[in-house]
């Protein structure tokens, strides 16, 4: 079975940093683009970032560009989101997702990990 | 960054038909935006429903369909069921594969 499992969430102070991980199983990870999406409490979904197969090509939403960095380790079947200079408004559930790739359009989501930015 | 617009809320009667739309501040939504649709029920992880305008996943109920309509992406629900009550989000692709979600539509089946 396909699984995307996020980890690394927690409580962090404003201005702090956190690194989220999303470990994949059940498919050939290196063949798919990977996304990060977040959802603040009671709010809608917000797309954050994508990383392509080469692990170098990445794009970001304006709201996180320059503060967040996406990366992947195909040997570990893991995609990361390094989050720096965190703000209160970054408080959200963070999801990784697999929407497209060489193998098609799978549409999978992880279960999410909660990040709380608070003093 | 583009703004993607959806109806904030819609109501449909059980067994009825409703169309949700997804517009872009940059102009007409086209196949090049590769529209996706997602359903999210309270307290649950989003579920993918439609990709690339009209393609369904193996788990997508047959009563959902996607299209382009009047310059927007559209999600049509035909024969609404109580379990279809949820929030629905569209996702559009822009330059360099940056994506933007719409604000979501809260669908009530009543």
Each residue of B68-96: pLDDT tens digit?
Answer: 999 999 999 999 999 999 999 999 999 98
* Average pLDDT of the residues in B53-63: 96
CB B46 within 8 A of CB B89: yes
Looking at residue B38, the DSSP 8-state letter turns out to be E
Residues A69-113 pLDDT 10s = 999 999 999 999 999 999 999 999 999 999 988 878 889 999 999
- pLDDT (0 to 100) of residue A106: 87
What pLDDT does B104 receive?
98
Q: Does A60 touch chain B (CB under 8 A)?
A: yes
Q: What average pLDDT does the segment B28-42 reach?
A: 97
| Contact between A72 and A51 (Cβ < 8 Å) | yes
Rg (CA), chain B: 13
Residue A42: CB partners within 8 Å, gap ≥ 6? none
Q: Which residues pair with B39 in a beta bridge?
A: B47, B88
Residues A5-47 have pLDDT tens digits of 999 999 999 999 999 999 999 999 999 999 999 999 999 999 9
**pLDDT cut 90: percent of chain B above it:** 96
CB distance from B2 to chain A under 8 Å?
Answer: no
Residue among A2, A45, A56, A101 with most chain B CBs within 10 A, to mutate:
A45
How much is the pLDDT for A101?
Answer: 86
Residue with tokens 């396909």: A2
Q: How far is A10 from chain B (nearest CA, A)?
A: 18
> Which one, of A30, A39, A52, A31, lies nearest residue B38 by Cα?
A39
A76-79, Cβ contacts within 8 angstroms, sequence gap of 24 or more: A76/A23, A77/A23, A77/A24, A77/A25, A77/A29, A78/A21, A78/A22, A78/A23, A78/A24, A78/A29, A79/A21, A79/A22, A79/A24, A79/A34, A79/A36, A79/A51
Residues of A with CB below 8 A from B96's CB?
59
Model pLDDT, residue A10: 97
How confident is the model at residue A104, as a pLDDT?
Answer: 82
């Amino acid at each position: 079975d396909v699984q995307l499992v996020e980890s690394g969430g927690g409580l962090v102070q404003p201005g702090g940093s956190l690194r989220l991980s999303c470990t994949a199983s059940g498919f050939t990870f290196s063949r798919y683009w990977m996304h990060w999406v977040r959802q603040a409490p009671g709010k809608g979904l917000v797309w954050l970032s994508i990383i392509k197969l080469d692990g170098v090509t990445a794009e970001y939403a304006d709201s996180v560009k320059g503060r967040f960095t996406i990366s992947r380790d195909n040997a570990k079947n893991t995609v990361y989101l390094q989050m720096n200079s965190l703000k209160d408004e970054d408080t959200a559930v963070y999801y990784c997702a697999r929407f497209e790739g060489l193998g098609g359009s799978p549409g999978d989501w992880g279960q999410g990990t909660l990040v709380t930015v608070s003093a | 960054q583009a703004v993607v617009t959806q109806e904030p809320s819609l109501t449909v009667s059980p067994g009825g038909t409703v169309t949700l739309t997804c517009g872009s501040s940059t102009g007409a939504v086209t196949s090049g935006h590769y529209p996706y649709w997602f359903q999210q029920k309270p307290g649950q992880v989003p579920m993918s429903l439609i990709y690339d305008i009209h393609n369904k996943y193996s788990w997508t109920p047959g009563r959902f369909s996607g299209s382009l309509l009047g310059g927007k992406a559209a999600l049509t629900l035909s024969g609404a069921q109580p379990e279809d009550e949820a929030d629905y989000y569209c996702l559009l692709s822009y330059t360099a594969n940056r994506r933007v979600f719409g604000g979501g539509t809260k669908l009530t089946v009543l």
